[in-house]
Structure 1
Amino acid sequence: MVYKFDSVIAKLKQGLIVSCQAPVDSPLHDPIVIAAIARAAENQGAVGVRIDTPAHVSAVKQRCTVPIIGLWKQQIPGYDVYITPQFAHAAAIARAGADIIAIDATQRQRPEGETLSSLIQQIHRELGKPVMADVDTIESAIAAVAAGADIVGTTLYGYTKQTTHLSPPGFELLTQIVEKVAVPAICEGGIASPQMARQALDLGAYAVVVGTAITGIDYLVKAYRAAIS
């Protein structure tokens, strides 16, 4: 069966996607709170939200109408891949109501011998959902598109061993993706101001994801406190 994902992806075009997440030890890490934050983002014009865990996706689905990019962060012993690393995690996110499934698409070893291509194909075939490939390098982006990814995001730029010396936002990576791959490129990571979001779109980003600068209360308060102490 061939699935058409253009309609849901088109809703994100040239828009702001707000990542509504919180540390697990934060009082904000509550489905009701995350859903309220997501709804507030939608009320102010966000074209989509990015949500972690099935419980949070389910809660947001009940309050929001914009597309949900769903993921499930899982630490698997012996592997560095952690954003929706296996099909079971993708299936749980889809059942909860995610419209797009975000996965770690770096070229790091995957658990249980599962390949990136087989994971994406299974998500397409069994869940009928488009896949956002979170990458760290242009090589990962090209490989992800070859494996069938529908969208590519700069999400993991600066967060892998290969890119740990680099600091988000990955504008250089974004430019390379825009030039070298045929699917929409989403700029995510390190966008700290409206001006930076505008710059990402000017560089060719299909859409921009902003998280900490909008919803990262725990991190922001800690940073302010450290600066004034």
Structure 2
Amino acid sequence: MTNDHLIHTLKNGLIVSCQAPVDSPLYEPTIIAAMAQAAVNNGAVGVRIDTPTHIRAVRERVQVPIIGLWKQVIPKYDVYITPQFHHAVAVAVAGADIIAIDATTRHRPGGETVAEIISHIHQELDKPVIADVDTIEAAKAAAGAGADIVATTLYGYTPKTNNDSPPSWELLTQMLEELKIPVICEGGISSPQMARHALNLGAYAVVVGTAITGIDLQVKNYQRIMQNGE
């Protein structure tokens, strides 16, 4: 399958992010893989998976595209989604079809620019790149740097946007108007109706995580509201 065909298989579909906190019993690779298979069995066109270990487990269970990433906490740096090329290599070797990277304008570890890491992924791994961004400026820069897809993933999670809550329909609309590559809506989608709205606006596909697979956060939210009346 060519990279263009691979990306096309995601069009107008639901991508389920199957992740769990490190301290959760759901963090077991077999459980993440079961989540992914359940999502695919019910129509998900792709899955988004963190860590090489989980990607390998999921690869054994599903045939749909895996968007792979590796979250890394590196002292003195805020960039954490596949921050360096060697992380992308590990993700690709584990079985990911598409590599997600942090493509915000924040300072990156190792001195690699967004353009350099995208170029390395294309040339050395032959994998498409999803650029996770927070602003229209970062989105345009990522597209200019060669990203195959941009996603609204980091809106609300960076210093420039942490006073805002996802999803940002405004950012999604700006990206759709100003970019010529596929735009994926990710972050804050908590109902099928919201996912449909994103597609109606023109999103290429929609990623949903917490609302489907985030048992830990969902239960915490229920408990907080039920106990505190928020």
Picking from 45, 48, 52, the partner of 1:47 is 45
| 2:163 matches 1:165 | yes
Which residue number corresponds to residue 76 of structure 1?
Answer: 74
After TM superposition, list the pairs within 5 Å mapping 1:21-170 onto structure 2: 21-170=19-168
Structure 1 unaligned regions, length at least 5: none
Classify the secondary structure of the residue corresponding to 2:25: coil
- Letter aligned with residue 78 of structure 1: K
For residues 192-223 of structure 1, give each alpha carbon's deviation from its aligned partner in whole angstroms, at most 9, with x where no partner exists.
00000000000110000000000000011111
**1:225, distance to aligned residue in structure 2 (A):** 1.4
For residues 32-52 of structure 1, give each alpha carbon's deviation from its aligned partner in whole angstroms, at most 9, with x where no partner exists.
000000000000000000000
Partners of 1:72 and 1:117 lie apart in 2 by 18
| 2:180 matches 1:179 | no
Structure 2 unaligned regions, length at least 5: none
- Letter aligned with residue 140 of structure 2: I
- Letter aligned with residue 224 of structure 1: Y
For residues 35-75 of structure 1, give each alpha carbon's deviation from its aligned partner in whole angstroms, at most 9, with x where no partner exists.
00000000000000000000000000000011000000001
Partners of 2:2 and 2:18 lie apart in 1 by 27
Alignment length (residue pairs): 227
For residues 139-193 of structure 1, give each alpha carbon's deviation from its aligned partner in whole angstroms, at most 9, with x where no partner exists.
0000001000000000000100001111100211110111001110000000000
Stretches of 4+ aligned residues off by more than 3 angstroms: none
Classify the secondary structure of the residue corresponding to 2:26: coil
- Letter aligned with residue 81 of structure 2: I
Partners of 2:168 and 2:41 lie apart in 1 by 28
**1:122, distance to aligned residue in structure 2 (A):** 0.2
Q: TM-score, normalised by structure 1?
A: 0.98
Q: TM-score, normalised by structure 2?
A: 0.97
**1:4, distance to aligned residue in structure 2 (A):** 5.0
| Aligned-residue RMSD, C-alpha | 1.0
Classify the secondary structure of the residue corresponding to 1:102: strand
Partners of 2:38 and 2:168 lie apart in 1 by 27
Partners of 1:95 and 1:74 lie apart in 2 by 17
